[in-house]
C-alpha cells in the first residue's frame, strides 16, 4: 500500500511539473488535419473529420458570418447564430457596421434594403492540411445601388492542439466613395457567445489587463478579451485578439455581460461625431479568434497573443526586407513604405519592436544595397535601442555609411550610443 501511495505522489508531482512547464495547459498534441469544402452557400471546415465551423454567405443574409464554432472538448458551439428576442443580428462571429453613409450594414438581419454586405463567393486557397485558407470579396451596398465599400477578406483556420482552434480573419476595406461613419456602437469585428458562457450566467469576461466583466472592460483599450465559462462540467472559451498593426490598436471595447464583445473604434470617434474615409483609402485589419479549452490561464491566452503579434509581424517583415535588400534609388518605393509601416506599427508593441530592430540591424551586415542600408539607418533612428548600437558603431568607419550611422546613433536614447559616438572621435 505504501508503494502505491508513493507512486501516486510521484505521479502527481510529475503532472504538476508538466502543468507548470506548459503554463497550465496539457502538452500540445500534434496538429490535426483540417479540411475545407464548399457546400451550397457555406464553406464547411472540419478538424479531424469533425465539424468545427462554417462560413455562411447566402445572398439572403444581411452579412456573412461564421457559425457554429465548436468547442474543442464539448463538441457544442460556443457561439450563437442569433438571439431571437432582442439581438437577432448577433450572428456568432461577423464583421459589419451601422451608419455608413446613412446605410446600415449591421441590422436587422431580414432587412436588406437599407444595406447588405454581399459576398461574391468565397474561393478555397488551401483546402486541406494543418491549416485551411479561403478568401472572399464582399460589396457593401443597397440592392440596386452602387457599393460604398469593397472588402477583401482572408480567413485561415488551424488546430495546433486538441484543446485549441485558431481563426485568423484579415480584411481590407476599400472605400469606393467618400465614406462617413457616424458614431455607432455597431461596428466591425464582433463575437456573441452562448448564454452559458456569459457573465450573466456565471461565465467570465476578462481583458489583457485582468479587468473583468462589462463594468470594468467597457470602453477600455486592450489588445484582447476572453469570454469563458463552464457548461455541463466542461470549461471552454472564445478569445478575440486585435493585431498591433491595426489602425486603432489598442482599440476600446464594447462589451456586454450577456455575451457580446467587440473592439469598436466607431463608438469613440475623434470628435465624438464621425469617422471619415476619402474615396480610394484602404483600411486593413487583422483579428484572431482563439477557441480554447479551460479558462484564460489554462489556455495561456496572454502568451498566445504575444505569439500572434510577433508571428504576423515577423512574416510581413521577412517579405518586406527581402525586397528592400535589392532596392536602389529611383526604383519603386513600395519596399521602403512596407518597412516603414512595420516600424511605425512596432512602436505600439515592444515585442515586435525588438524583432524589427534586430532584423534591421542584421540586414545592415548583409550584401544589401547601399541605398537599402542608408534607409535602414534612418529607420533605426526611430526605434533604435542599445540592441542595434554595436552594428551601427561599426559603420562609423565606413566611408559611405558613416553619416547615416551617426544620424541613427545621435537619436538613439541608449548610453551605449553616446559611448560609440565619443569613441569615434578619439
Do 166 and 281 have their domain in common? yes
Instruction: Say if 304 falls within a structural domain.
Output: no
Instruction: Say if 14 falls within a structural domain.
Output: yes
Do 262 and 293 have their domain in common? yes
By residue range, what is the domain housing residue 152?
A: 34-299
- Which range is most confident: 50-59, 86-95, 343-352? 50-59
Query: What pLDDT is stored for residue 312 in this prediction?
Result: 67
Of 322-331, 346-355, 378-387, the poorest mean pLDDT is in: 346-355
Tell me how far apart the alpha carbons of residues 116 and 312 are, in angstroms, rounded to a whole number: 31
How does residue 148 score in pLDDT terms, banded at 50, 70 and 90?
A: very high
Query: What pLDDT is stored for residue 1 in this prediction?
Result: 38
Domain limit, last residue, from 266, 299, 332: 299
Would you say residue 163 has pLDDT above 50? yes
Model pLDDT for residues 106-146, shown as the tens digit of each residue = 998 888 999 999 999 999 999 999 999 999 999 999 999 99
Do 283 and 328 have their domain in common? no
Number of folded domains that form the chain:
3
Helix (H, G, I), strand (E, B), or coil: what is residue 173?
strand
Do 56 and 23 have their domain in common? no
How does residue 102 score in pLDDT terms, banded at 50, 70 and 90?
A: very high
Model pLDDT for residues 291-314, shown as the tens digit of each residue = 999 999 999 999 999 888 877 667
Helix (H, G, I), strand (E, B), or coil: what is residue 19?
helix
Do 152 and 79 have their domain in common? yes
Would you say residue 18 has pLDDT above 70? no
In this structure, what are the phi and psi dihedrals at residue 342, rounded to the nearest 5 degrees?
A: -65, -40
Query: What pLDDT is stored for residue 311 in this prediction?
Result: 75
How does residue 342 score in pLDDT terms, banded at 50, 70 and 90?
A: confident
How does residue 16 score in pLDDT terms, banded at 50, 70 and 90?
A: very low
CATH number, domain of 118, equals: 2.70.98
For residues 350-366, average pLDDT: 87
How does residue 341 score in pLDDT terms, banded at 50, 70 and 90?
A: confident
Do 321 and 294 have their domain in common? no
Q: Which pTM was predicted?
A: 0.73
Instruction: Say if 126 falls within a structural domain.
Output: yes
First and final C-alpha spacing in the chain: 77
Would you say residue 28 has pLDDT above 70? no
Do 221 and 75 have their domain in common? yes
Instruction: Say if 284 falls within a structural domain.
Output: yes
Instruction: Say if 307 falls within a structural domain.
Output: no
Tell me how far apart the alpha carbons of residues 118 and 150 are, in angstroms, rounded to a whole number: 10
Mean pLDDT of the chain: 89
Helix (H, G, I), strand (E, B), or coil: what is residue 394?
helix
Would you say residue 268 has pLDDT above 70? yes
For residues 210-237, average pLDDT: 97
138 forms bridges with which residues in the sheet? 119, 151
Query: What pLDDT is stored for residue 174 in this prediction?
Result: 97
Model pLDDT for residues 269-285, shown as the tens digit of each residue = 988 899 999 999 999 99
For residues 354-372, average pLDDT: 92
How does residue 30 score in pLDDT terms, banded at 50, 70 and 90?
A: low
Domain limit, last residue, from 299, 321, 353: 299
Would you say residue 90 has pLDDT above 60? yes
For residues 347-374, average pLDDT: 88
Cell of 45: 471546415
For residues 182-196, average pLDDT: 95
Do 22 and 161 have their domain in common? no
How would you classify the pairing of strands 164-175 and 234-242?
A: unpaired
Do 23 and 44 have their domain in common? no
Do 223 and 132 have their domain in common? yes
Do 98 and 150 have their domain in common? yes
Instruction: Say if 308 falls within a structural domain.
Output: no
Cell of 254: 464594447
Which of 128, 123, 104 shows the shortest CA–CA distance to 114? Answer: 104
Domain limit, last residue, from 299, 332, 361: 299
Do 267 and 360 have their domain in common? no
Tell me how far apart the alpha carbons of residues 351 and 293 are, in angstroms, rounded to a whole number: 26
CB contact set of 58 (below 8 Å; sequence gap of 6+): 41, 42
Q: Look at the chain and count its residues.
A: 426
Bigger pLDDT: 87 vs 421 = 421
Instruction: Say if 96 falls within a structural domain.
Output: yes
Amino acid at each position: 500500500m505504501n508503494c502505491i501511495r508513493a507512486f501516486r505522489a510521484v505521479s502527481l508531482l510529475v503532472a504538476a511539473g508538466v502543468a507548470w512547464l506548459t503554463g497550465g495547459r496539457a502538452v500540445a498534441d500534434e496538429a490535426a488535419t483540417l479540411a475545407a469544402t464548399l457546400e451550397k452557400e457555406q464553406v464547411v471546415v472540419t478538424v479531424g473529420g469533425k465539424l468545427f465551423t462554417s462560413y455562411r454567405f447566402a445572398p439572403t443574409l444581411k452579412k456573412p458570418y461564421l457559425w457554429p464554432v465548436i468547442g474543442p472538448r464539448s463538441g457544442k458551439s460556443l457561439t450563437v447564430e442569433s438571439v431571437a428576442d432582442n439581438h437577432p443580428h448577433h450572428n456568432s462571429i461577423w464583421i459589419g457596421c451601422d451608419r455608413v453613409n446613412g446605410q446600415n450594414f449591421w441590422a436587422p438581419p431580414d432587412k436588406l434594403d437599407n444595406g447588405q454586405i454581399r459576398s461574391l463567393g468565397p474561393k478555397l486557397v488551401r483546402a486541406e492540411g494543418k491549416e485551411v485558407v479561403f478568401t472572399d470579396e464582399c460589396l457593401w451596398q443597397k440592392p440596386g445601388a452602387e457599393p460604398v465599400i469593397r472588402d477583401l477578406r482572408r480567413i485561415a483556420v488551424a488546430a495546433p492542439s486538441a484543446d485549441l482552434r485558431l481563426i485568423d480573419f484579415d480584411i481590407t476595406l476599400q472605400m469606393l466613395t467618400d465614406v462617413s461613419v457616424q458614431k455607432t456602437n455597431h461596428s466591425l469585428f464582433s463575437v456573441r457567445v452562448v448564454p452559458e458562457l456569459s457573465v450573466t450566467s456565471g461565465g467570465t469576461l476578462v481583458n489583457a489587463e485582468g479587468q473583468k466583466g462589462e463594468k470594468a472592460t467597457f470602453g477600455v483599450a486592450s489588445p484582447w478579451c476572453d469570454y469563458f465559462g463552464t457548461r455541463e462540467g466542461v470549461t471552454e472559451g472564445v478569445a478575440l485578439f486585435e493585431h498591433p498593426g491595426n489602425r486603432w490598436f489598442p482599440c476600446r471595447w464594447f462589451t456586454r455581460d450577456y455575451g457580446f464583445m467587440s473592439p469598436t473604434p466607431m463608438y469613440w470617434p475623434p470628435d465624438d461625431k464621425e469617422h471619415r474615409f476619402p474615396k480610394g483609402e484602404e483600411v486593413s485589419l487583422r483579428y484572431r479568434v482563439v477557441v480554447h479549452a479551460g479558462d484564460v490561464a489554462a489556455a495561456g491566452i496572454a502568451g498566445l497573443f504575444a505569439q500572434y503579434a510577433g508571428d504576423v509581424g515577423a512574416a510581413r517583415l521577412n517579405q518586406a526586407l527581402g525586397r528592400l535588400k535589392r532596392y536602389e534609388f529611383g526604383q519603386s518605393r513600395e519596399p521602403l513604405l512596407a518597412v516603414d509601416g512595420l516600424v511605425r506599427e512596432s512602436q505600439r508593441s515592444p515585442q515586435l519592436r525588438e524583432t524589427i530592430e534586430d532584423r534591421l540591424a542584421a540586414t545592415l551586415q548583409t550584401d544589401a544595397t547601399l541605398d537599402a542600408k542608408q534607409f535602414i539607418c534612418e529607420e533605426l533612428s526611430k526605434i533604435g535601442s542599445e540592441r542595434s548600437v554595436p552594428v551601427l558603431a561599426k559603420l562609423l568607419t565606413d566611408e559611405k555609411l558613416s553619416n547615416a550611422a551617426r544620424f541613427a546613433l545621435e537619436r538613439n536614447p541608449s548610453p551605449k550610443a553616446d559611448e560609440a559616438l565619443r569613441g569615434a572621435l578619439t
